[in-house]
Structure 1
Amino acid sequence: MTTPLFDAPSRGRRREIDLTPWLDDAKAQARFRAKVYDPGLPDACMPWLRTISSSGHGEFHLGPGGSSPVRAHRFAWLLHTRGAPPPVVMHHCDEHSCVNPHHLLAGTVALNTLDYYRRGRHGGSSPLADPRGRQQRAEAIKRAINEAETPQAKLIAYRRAIEIPRPWREQAGQLAIPAPVDPEPLPGQLALF
């Protein structure tokens, strides 16, 4: 007999829920994996492609009829480890919609906060500093991948969607994309500059 794996209460759900039946169900696992984009790159994030919460995390509905959702990254961690659910499943990659189990760590609220500051994630280079906000970033990634048709187009769309917009650089005269360089003059042409 399998030990029940209870997920802690969350917003919208006031009670613990035993996830064991879904973790052991091949159809539920296939349904879960169908909602994940795997770019096929080593160590790449695997973004969730369906419902995104206001915090930018994926939500996996366990069954039909509008069942209570569980956080997709928590379900991925449990599916991979089969360990007792920790208070917090932390993202080493800082990408809230990522469900790659190799990017997920067991932790606590205090450890998650300490990790955030220790790694300097409050600065401008982290996905957490995206001016779109966590939910809009996750939605942009999901939309870009879902709208692309071929695997190559999905990968390109994914890479573009994860770029952090820097509108203030353009306002300050620092273009995020380098300006095009004038080509070398052809033989017989005068260089203007």
Structure 2
Amino acid sequence: MHFSAVCFFLGILFSSFPYDYNVIWTTPEGPRDVYFNILEDHLKFLHASPPIISRILHIVIGTGLLGFLTKLYKASQANMLFDGASLVLYMAGITVYITNIVKGLRVVTAGIYGNVDIKEDENADDYISREDTLRVFAASNTILALVLVGVLVLQAGQWYALRKEEAEIKEIEEKEQERKAAGKKKQ
């Protein structure tokens, strides 16, 4: 349940990567403003999408959270370590989503960044430029993707640890059966 939610969220972030790439990772030739305009238009389009789109995303995020919480109910020590750490990363991702991405979508759609004329001049220090706002948004997507990949790595580590433990237990049981069989033959 939580694995699907993480993959779904990573897919959404991956679809934004072409827009973010030229804003934070490269310095393409020609006017940089073109890439900022493309990202800004994309974000405005996303924010103007029908409410069902954001509701589906929030349901998937909630489903992932519910999946982690159910795995922690009466959890083994391995679940507490791996799933607990995964839940912490997942909550960090939700925090980045709420504080940077949702807020960034609202700021970009309203177009209030850097426009000191809209507010009083005394609050001029509270505003960051359009480029910086878009860079922070793109960097937030990258941070969120890394956090979610961390969740997947922890879950893969848990899967590997459980399989390794099962193999070791099976090996010990087989050796014990061989020892018992050898003891019966001597009698």
Same fold (TM over 0.5): no
Which protein has the bigger helix share?
A: 2
What TM-score do you get using the length of structure 2 for normalisation? 0.28
Q: Higher relative contact order at CA 8 Å, sep ≥6: structure 1 or structure 2?
A: 2
What TM-score do you get using the length of structure 1 for normalisation? 0.27
Which protein has the bigger strand share?
A: 1
